[in-house]
Structure 1
Amino acid sequence: MYSDNKLILQIISLMKQHGILSVVISPGSRHYPLVRSLERDPDFSLYSVVDERSAAFFALGLIQNSGAPVAVCCTSGTSAINYGSAVVEAFYQGLPLVVLTADRLPELLNQKEEQMFLQKDVYDGFIRYQGQLPEVKDGLSEWYCNRVINEAFLELDHHGRGPVHLNFPVESHHTDKFSTESLPKVRKISRVRGDDDPEIWQRYASWLSGRKIMIVWGQSAPTDEALSRAVERFIERFDCVILADKLSNCHTSRTIETAYLALRSMTLEQTTELAPDVVITLFGNYTFNGELKGYLSSTGRPFEVWDLGTSRVSDPFRRLSTVFEVRERFFFEKMCEQAEQQGGMDYYEAWSEVDGAIEEPQVDFGEIHAVGQLVRKLPKNAQLHIANSLPIRMVHLFRSDPSVTAYCNRGVNGIDGCMSAAVGFAAATSDPVYLVIGDLTFFYDMNALWNRHLSKNLRILMLNNEGGGVMHMPLSEGLAPQLSRHISAGHATSAKGWVESVGFRYLAATTREECDAAIDVLTNPAESGPILVEVFSVKEDDVRQLKTYLQELDKLTFGDRVRRRLRRKLPKLFR
């Protein structure tokens, strides 16, 4: 019988799946649940060495003999320190040593508890990966432990070899129960490299055949011609859809650029059939992250996640199975080389039906109207910078010309430097550069315009509703006066004096007619000099309009309507 401790089960199951089958055990009691469970499993070879200093070097000898990774395990306290010399040696020899140190609960640290010191950083500077595991108390902590253990074992031979350390807590080793009959097959995360055997790539390509593939294209620079060709060949051979937003700058024949709205329009009852079999993620963040998480978790359908172009384990959907440490273009070309048959378009056409049913908001005067007018009137090949907060959400309510390139500081999603980035971009080009920005973000970064490199080709649409409307979105309208005091930083400030003092042509808009006329000027390439249009609206009205529009994407009615059309048009997908 194995321990009933879910953390212990995760460690052992992943040791077995990653091929860590030899374990050198130092005496003690804190690691008893792990050791007893290992003793019950015939797949592991166990060695008992009393002196921890000798035990860890003994493990190095086993590694030198076999070339395979070996684990060494000890109780809490100074035992962990005694492994130090061998860990340093393993680091400089490049030997895959797995150091498993049991510990007491972190809450007890520095509380005069016996056999306890800060173990998690004890090998700092001489370890390829350091993992501090928590107790498994719920689904979130279990997912976290699974991810961290996988990360540790993947680092044993990632761009070189060397030791890794996992520090795991055991609250009460003497009360642990051992009634688990079989080891669970927990999730193993794999890494695939470009020089892996062709059979590995063939296996992945074969798995994709006949499955529904959702490609999630994050924020990226405009796609170069070589990558575009590789992606188009891939989508000809596999049945897939590409979910994107404006920051993806991805314009393929199977791209759904309204992912933010399409995902909001789906429920389990209406669109379970559109759930993917595999999700392939690439590039940076995207504005529909929350909507996609909610959709994928609600379908109840199993799926895998493959992540491209990185060596980091990034698992936002908690289903990551494979990290492809190759350039994105290499992945698509390799899959095409291994593809055995042409794919269909059913999956994309189903999503296209959903996309086609979405209508742009028709609203009274306010910031949503102003943003829509700008997006619709942008000239071809325009460079559009979008500030964080509500502007990035509002821009995605409208369709833009595929030639428009979009940028936003979405790495951390802060409001810092949104205008400064646009000013810097404009300083390096002679083409018009457009910026959509809210009032708080503008005033926060207003020194961006106090710049000797300020370009005459900068065009700014500033949305001034006297505070941060995004802070009002999740809360009731009745709280607006209270929120404006501190939460949304209510104010009565205009940009007019400041921008005129630094050489801008300034236009104000307080009505629909003034707004439309000002945006005509803003988007006219023949106009010279930097221009700023400041649109004045009422924050509460703007928030109400946005909430109303999103609510009008009525999930039940919309879903039934689209589903009936899909069943008629694509019966094979809904068998």
Structure 2
Amino acid sequence: MNQLWGYLIIEELVRNGIDYFVISPGSRSTPLTVAVAQNSQANKIICLDERAAGFHAIGYARATGNPAVLICTSGTAAANYLPAVIEASIDDIPLIILSSDRPPELRQTGANQTINQVNLYGNYPTWQFDLPCPTAEISPNVVLTTIDLAISRARQAPGGVVHLNCMFREPLAPTDAHVEIPASLVKWHEDRAPYTRYAAKLTIPAIAEIQSLIETIASTERGILFVGQLKSTAEIKAVIKLAARLNWAIFADIQSGLRLCQDFPNLIHYFDRLLLTDIAVELEQIDTIVQIGTKIVSAQWFKWIEKHPPTNYIAIANNPDRYDPNHLVSFRIESDITYLCDRLSQHLPQLSPSTWVQKLRSASDRIGVTAAKFLKTSKLTEPLIARTISELIPSQHGLWVSNSMPIRDLDMFGVGASAEDFPSISLRVGANRGTSGIEGAIASATGFAVGLQAPITAIVGDLSSLYDLNSLALLQHNLQPVIVVIINNDGGGIFSFLPIAKSTDLFEPYFGTPHGLKFDRVAAMFELDYYHPLNRDEFIHNYQQALAKNRSAIVEVTTDRSENLSLHQDLMRLCSSGNWQAIQQSID
């Protein structure tokens, strides 16, 4: 019965197009692991650490939009998925967990490796179910309908975490006996189709609400299209089409898929820095902001709109959750983003280009020139690393960005491909911004590579790397290479920007947390190529070397936290001064 149920669970997942399994070794999960191993259509990876496995699955799901399946044994193994469960839940990432459990008669008896796994993840899963021990008294059809429901709940917008707690009694190992398909499932066995097919669901607003939105947009004189995190190529293309129709100013987050386009019309690349300049007075009388997508990186944006709220603040997302930290949204639309953008593009009149938008674009371009000249005349720095990678990374690759300073630097100073490569440019940017934690960065990058089926560059801080060292083992099994650029500033660099940094007696031991560690021996341990450039030219050479070799590597860049703080402060002063001619002369 264990073998039969294990086969049914895995086979039904595969029939539904869910064929990527992340397995952590253990005994109680033997029926599931064996079923994956024996299924010729199942793709699998072995991940020793469940926490890393969870984030690897998240990276895969971010790339594909399809859930990976996590399989683990009983006890604290499943508990190690919790950080990934929280990240996936908050950011609507589809994830399916098959935790193995001991039978109910062993619960609360002191039996070894037995904990209470029911509702283990609290309210974070979108659906959870305690699957009973396999027995002849329960129809096997129950297994299939349960799996089909679980898949539907994980996939249907907005998506999320599904937890199936699977109890098994011994014996767990497969026997030589042939597993008979029950008579009730013979047709299912022969058809090779899912037992219960769930129709796709599309979230569509009422026609009257769409018309109201069209009227507001059409009557807007000064409008900003703010593009937050987008999750698919289809969403990116639909937003691009709408942006061309609007001719509004476009503020694009690094996770949007638009931020790293060099010459897309009306794209205000450096809007975050622009908000610090005199030209920002032009933004104080905004009629309408339409925000598509969530999880915005720029803290400066939130500060600005709190002081200068628009007349209309319209938020569009494919989930019912409130994403409004400033409490300014006046109209919220839950909708499939691709559908709504296509509908708006069809029915909106073509709006004319605005001299106001051109003024913003001109000021933004001058900030870009200023930043480029300043960074290229300085030594190897953290903003320079982010900018250089955005310039050099091939468009068919993927880019994974860790939290804290790397994603902020890329969001503020990144630059991308030229107009002739857009909108066909395929560079995808991934990050874990659900809870913005530093854990699982390397593991997520490896999953992102598997999902995209493309090489990945990951920009990761030193603390984040130390937190996730064991995930470097995954690089040995990834068919797609991952170049991990580790920015080592010997501690928590982002804390230098906080007021606590002025308390020098407390700052270093409790916030700066220097560790004095390097990553050369780590690279040797995991048999990875290693580079340690000391200046900008060396970094460019080493990074291009790593790209050309097409295999996983570590590129370690050593920076100084105090110098990094000063550099950012200098850049902020330069970009906000408004005296462009003096700036250019001082840099030249």
TM-score (norm 1): 0.57
Task: Name 1:543's counterpart in structure 2.
Answer: 565
Q: 2:435 aligns with which of 412, 422, 426?
A: 412
Cα distance in 1 between the residues matched to 2:465 and 2:523: 11
Summarize the alignment of residues 494-573 of structure 1 with structure 2, pairs less than 5 Å apart: 494-522=518-546, 524-525=547-548, 527-555=549-577, 557=579
Summarize the alignment of residues 454-465 of structure 1 with structure 2, pairs less than 5 Å apart: 454-455=478-479, 457-465=481-489
Summarize the alignment of residues 88-103 of structure 1 with structure 2, pairs less than 5 Å apart: none
Q: Tell me: CA distance 1:414–1:200, structure 2 relative to 1, closer, same or farther (3 Å).
A: closer
Q: Tell me: CA distance 1:300–1:222, structure 2 relative to 1, closer, same or farther (3 Å).
A: closer
Residue 227 of structure 1: how far off its partner (Å): 6.1
Cα distance in 1 between the residues matched to 2:310 and 2:399: 38
Task: Name 1:281's counterpart in structure 2.
Answer: 291
Residue 443 of structure 1: how far off its partner (Å): 0.3
Task: Name 2:301's counterpart in structure 1.
Answer: 292
5+ long unaligned stretches in structure 1: 1-124, 126-192, 562-575
Q: 1:445 aligns with which of 445, 454, 468?
A: 468
Residues 47-74 of structure 1: CA deviation (Å, up to 9, x unaligned) = xxxxxxxxxxxxxxxxxxxxxxxxxxxx
Task: Name 2:405's counterpart in structure 1.
Answer: 390
Cα distance in 1 between the residues matched to 2:268 and 2:407: 17
Cα distance in 1 between the residues matched to 2:315 and 2:480: 44
Cα distance in 1 between the residues matched to 2:529 and 2:236: 41
Residue 253 of structure 1: how far off its partner (Å): 3.7
The answer to whether residue 396 in structure 2 is matched with residue 381 in structure 1 is: yes
Residues 535-567 of structure 1: CA deviation (Å, up to 9, x unaligned) = 122221122212221222225646999xxxxxx
Cα distance in 2 between the residues matched to 1:429 and 1:341: 35
The answer as to whether partners of 1:282 and 1:309 remain within 8 angstroms in 2 is no
Q: 1:400 aligns with which of 390, 411, 416?
A: 416
5+ long unaligned stretches in structure 2: 1-122, 124-202, 584-588
Q: Tell me: CA distance 1:279–1:238, structure 2 relative to 1, closer, same or farther (3 Å).
A: same
**Higher gyration radius (CA):** 1
Q: Tell me: CA distance 1:554–1:378, structure 2 relative to 1, closer, same or farther (3 Å).
A: same
Cα distance in 1 between the residues matched to 2:236 and 2:531: 42
Cα distance in 2 between the residues matched to 1:368 and 1:392: 10
Cα distance in 2 between the residues matched to 1:556 and 1:476: 30
The answer as to whether partners of 2:228 and 2:293 remain within 8 angstroms in 1 is yes
Residue 305 of structure 1: how far off its partner (Å): 2.8
The answer to whether residue 282 in structure 2 is matched with residue 271 in structure 1 is: yes
Residue 365 of structure 1: how far off its partner (Å): 2.7
Residue 312 of structure 1: how far off its partner (Å): 2.7
Cα distance in 2 between the residues matched to 1:238 and 1:560: 35
Cα distance in 1 between the residues matched to 2:213 and 2:453: 46
Where 2:233 maps in the other structure, the secondary structure is coil
Q: 1:234 aligns with which of 226, 237, 242?
A: 242
Q: Tell me: CA distance 1:391–1:266, structure 2 relative to 1, closer, same or farther (3 Å).
A: farther
Letter in 1 for 2:227: W
Q: Tell me: CA distance 1:528–1:235, structure 2 relative to 1, closer, same or farther (3 Å).
A: closer
Residues 207-230 of structure 1: CA deviation (Å, up to 9, x unaligned) = 222312212111123532x862x5
Cα distance in 1 between the residues matched to 2:430 and 2:311: 34
Residue 358 of structure 1: how far off its partner (Å): 1.1
Q: Tell me: CA distance 1:480–1:557, structure 2 relative to 1, closer, same or farther (3 Å).
A: farther
Residues 297-345 of structure 1: CA deviation (Å, up to 9, x unaligned) = 3336533333343323332332222221221233233334443564444
Cα distance in 2 between the residues matched to 1:234 and 1:559: 36
The answer as to whether partners of 2:396 and 2:454 remain within 8 angstroms in 1 is no
Residues 159-200 of structure 1: CA deviation (Å, up to 9, x unaligned) = xxxxxxxxxxxxxxxxxxxxxxxxxxxxxxxxxx8463x454
Q: Which has the higher contact order (CA 8 A, sep 6+)?
A: 2
Residue 391 of structure 1: how far off its partner (Å): 0.9
Residue 234 of structure 1: how far off its partner (Å): 3.5
Residue 428 of structure 1: how far off its partner (Å): 4.7
Q: Tell me: CA distance 1:203–1:389, structure 2 relative to 1, closer, same or farther (3 Å).
A: closer
Percent of pairs identical after alignment? 17
Summarize the alignment of residues 121-520 of structure 1 with structure 2, pairs less than 5 Å apart: 194=204, 196=206, 198-211=207-220, 212-224=222-234, 228=237, 230-250=238-258, 253-265=265-277, 270-272=281-283, 275-288=285-298, 290-299=299-308, 302-339=311-348, 342-359=351-368, 360=371, 361-362=374-375, 363-396=378-411, 397-401=413-417, 403=425, 404-428=427-451, 431-451=454-474, 453-455=477-479, 457-475=481-499, 482-520=506-544
Residue 444 of structure 1: how far off its partner (Å): 0.7
Where 2:486 maps in the other structure, the secondary structure is strand
Residues 441-499 of structure 1: CA deviation (Å, up to 9, x unaligned) = 10011111123634461111111121111001134876567522121211110111122
Q: Aligned pair count?
A: 363
TM-score (norm 2): 0.56
Root-mean-square deviation (Å): 3.2
Q: Tell me: CA distance 1:370–1:325, structure 2 relative to 1, closer, same or farther (3 Å).
A: closer
The answer as to whether partners of 1:419 and 1:442 remain within 8 angstroms in 2 is yes
Q: Tell me: CA distance 1:555–1:472, structure 2 relative to 1, closer, same or farther (3 Å).
A: same
Where 2:396 maps in the other structure, the secondary structure is coil
Task: Name 1:137's counterpart in structure 2.
Answer: none
